[in-house]
Amino acid sequence: MSKRTEKTIVDIAEELKLSVSTVSRALNDNPNISARTKDKVKKMARKLGYRPNALAAGLRNNKSKTIGLIVPRISMFFPATISTIIQNKLQEYGYNLIICQSNDSYDQEVALVNTLYSARVDGLVVSTTLYTTDFSHFDVFKDNNIPLIFFDRVPKDYNVKVIKGDDYVGGYTATTHLIERGCKDIVHISGPLTCNLYVERVSGYKHALQENKLPFKKTRVFYQELTRDNAWQACEKIFAQTPYPDGIFASNDTTAITIMEYCRKINVRVPEDLKIVGYSNDPRTEIVTPPVTSVDQYPTMMGERVVAALMELITSQASATAPRYSQEIIPIQLIARESTAGMVKAGGKKK
């Protein structure tokens, strides 16, 4: 193939009548190489167009200066934002990031974990699939003491470093907000309970109802992948019979926005007849009419904390005594917008 132009430190060494070790040290600014030699070496490196081979260095050092990231999909606002932060922060530390998407498929996740291990990443950051309940495929990383961090969608009962949102409080806050605005019959559209964060949000929802002496009705909670299609279908069920609910707490913004669309179609007014709260504070919540109340998860903060924690793990890797797991909780904040404005009318509404 190519024109054999790949220069190595050996070429530099020969050119300069130095040994490869000296060249290597010079390029790495090793203190016991004289300034003069360093200079010569670097000049020659530039002149020859030398490019370090990270594979070789990685093999020798047993570290790749590369971090793996697995998220369900990078096209969703929340993971996308976090990926961006992680990527940019990591770059500052001189690390590359291999971003992978599991597409919410357990099998793909397993496969990715293995190839990332093969790539000898120096750390792995994961937000799991909706359906990951067995985490043993991550054992390789634990067993080999390679930094492993989960964020947002984190494992239950698997000892590991975790950075998550305050989902219980999120669910509680969203529901309480609806109640404060006068809602008495609140539907909750949740993700599947295989994913623990939804369990917590449901639990927050439930407690808010209890605290306000409102009944928790099983028929008022939906568990489904939070896609547009599913949201639409849920609406068809919800509005197939009266009484309509007067509030909906949706566990993501896609769902919330879709519900609004449906409401427009069937002439249910938001917020007058129905109040809606979404989750994640996706920027789309601001551009729809009316703007949707949502729960901000501080993705920037979460991303920064992930990188900080990762770097701690990496630097403390030698002292294997440090606890390699802990749970860190990022706060949430409810952003009230028009979709939950005003008080609901006394009598409620009907078809």
Partner DNA sequence: TAATGTAATGCAAACGTTTGCAAAAATCAA
Partner DNA sequence: TTGATTTTTGCAAACGTTTGCATTACATTA
Give the β-pairing of 123-126 and 66-71.
Answer: parallel
Can you name the residues that pair with 136 across neighbouring β-strands? none
Give the residue from 311, 275, 320 showing the smallest Cα distance to 293: 275
* Residue 319: CB minimum distance to a second copy, A: 10
Using the rule CB under 7 A, is 140 a contact of DNA? no
Contact region with DNA (CB under 7 A), list: 3-11, 201-209, 221-229, 343-351: 3-11
Minimum distance from residue 349 beta carbon to a second copy (Å): 22
Residues written for the chain: 351
Q: Which does 9 bind (CB under 5 to 8 A by kind): a second copy, DNA, none?
A: DNA
Binding-site partner at residue 87 among DNA, a second copy, none, CB < 5 to 8 Å by type: a second copy
Could you identify the residue written with the tokens 């009907």? Answer: 350
* 224 and 230 Cβ atoms separated by less than 8 Å: yes
Of 3, 46, 60, 350, which one interacts with DNA (CB under 7 A)?
A: 60
* Residue 138 touching DNA (CB under 7 A): no
**What is the per-residue burial (b if ≥16 Cβ within 10 Å, else e) of 34-58?**
eeeebebbbebbeeeebeeeeeeeb
Which residues in this chain contact a second copy in the complex, by CB under 8 A?
1-3, 5-6, 49, 51-56, 58-59, 64, 66, 73-75, 80-81, 83-84, 87-88, 91, 96-101, 103, 108, 111, 114-120, 140, 143-146, 257, 261, 284, 287-289, 317-318, 320
Whichever of 32 and 75 has its CB closer to DNA, that residue is: 32
Place of tokens 């490019």: 51
Q: How far is CA 194 from CA 68, 106, 135, 153, 224, in A?
A: 24, 12, 13, 10, 10
Nearer to DNA, 17 or 350 (CB): 17
Cα-to-chain-centroid distance, residue 169: 18
Residues that bind DNA (CB under 7 A): 6, 8-10, 17-22, 24-25, 27-28, 32-37, 50-53, 56-57, 59-62
